[in-house]
Amino acid sequence: MLLNQGIYSGNRDGFEVVHMIRAFWAELNRDLLLAFRRRGDLLNPLLFFVMVVVLFPLGVSPAADFLAQLAPGVLWVCALLAALLSLDNLFKSDYEDGTLEQLVLSSESNYMTAMAKAIAHWLTTGLLLALMAPLLALMLFLPTEAIPVLVISLLLGTPTLSLIGAIAAALTVGLKKGGVLISLLVIPLYIPVLIFGASAVQNATLGLPVAAHFAILGAMLIMSLVLAPFAIAASLRMSVSS
């Protein structure tokens, strides 16, 4: 990027921005196309989400009032785990076939590529999980008025999970035994999102205001959207160079 700046003199800044946005869309397009070509893999996190949620009525208690109390936390924890487990594949195939190396070496902005990859991950996991959540909420007897809050909180929270998770996925992509390590690195950083997401839904079931929770989830999203790509790009450079 720095090298390129010497070549495009004149209206350089405008050119750079357009160029970066184009790189972003190209990467997003490619990742979504790849995900769509392997539709079976798209289902895996969703199936995991459904199956783990089903374990709770069977393992703890099927009583409706008890499940309704448990539902906000269970739904959020299960969505978080589903998003977490899908992180392992985020950069794996690109790393193995050398695409990642080419991306890091290319003159395109690594920042934009990293952001595109994290957003593609969200579109193929978090978004689907949020859309799936109302069905599971009904099975757990979550009061109907809390369901929109559940969906909105997941829509605001899961992109943050994807962005933070992508850092850990990028750090561990070169390791043979990445799986459990990713969870160790990521779960501490996921806790704040879980706290505010689940307590928004909890408040909605009690008829309390949720605007403050949404504001904090939104703030965390904006902060991670701006800052996480730096860390993802730096981690990818580290993983590729080692």
Partner 1 sequence: MAKKQIMPLWFYRLASPKYCYQITATLLPYFAAITLALLSIGIVWALLFAPQDYQQGNSFRIIYIHVPSALLAQSIYLTMALSGAIGIIWKMKIADMVAYACAPIGASMAFVALITGAIWGKPTWGSWWVWDARLTSMLILLFLYFGVMALYSAMGNSASAARAAAILSLVGLVNIPIIKYSVDWWNTLHQPATFTLTEKPAMPVEMWLPLLVMVLGFYFFFATAMLLRLRNEILLREKRTSWVKQLVSEL
Q: Output the CA torsion 224→168→191→200 (10° steps).
A: 50
Q: Shortest distance, CB of residue 8 to partner 1, whole angstroms?
A: 28
Binding site for partner 1 (CB under 8 A): 164, 167-168, 171-172, 174-175, 177, 181, 184-185, 187-189, 191-192, 231, 234-235, 238-239, 241-242
Closest to partner 1 by CB, 134 or 192: 192
In angstroms, the CA 161 to CA 91 distance is 16
Closest to partner 1 by CB, 49 or 196: 196
Q: Shortest distance, CB of residue 174 to partner 1, whole angstroms?
A: 8
What is the phi/psi pair of residue 90, to 5°?
Answer: -55, -50
In angstroms, the CA 74 to CA 57 distance is 10
Q: Shortest distance, CB of residue 127 to partner 1, whole angstroms?
A: 24
In angstroms, the CA 192 to CA 188 distance is 8
In angstroms, the CA 241 to CA 86 distance is 24
Q: Shortest distance, CB of residue 156 to partner 1, whole angstroms?
A: 18
Q: Shortest distance, CB of residue 116 to partner 1, whole angstroms?
A: 19
In angstroms, the CA 154 to CA 162 distance is 12
Closest to partner 1 by CB, 33 or 184: 184
63-96 burial code (b ≥16 CB/10 A, e <16): eeeebbbbbbbbbbbbbbbbbbbbbbebbeebbe
Closest to partner 1 by CB, 23 or 163: 163
Closest to partner 1 by CB, 124 or 172: 172
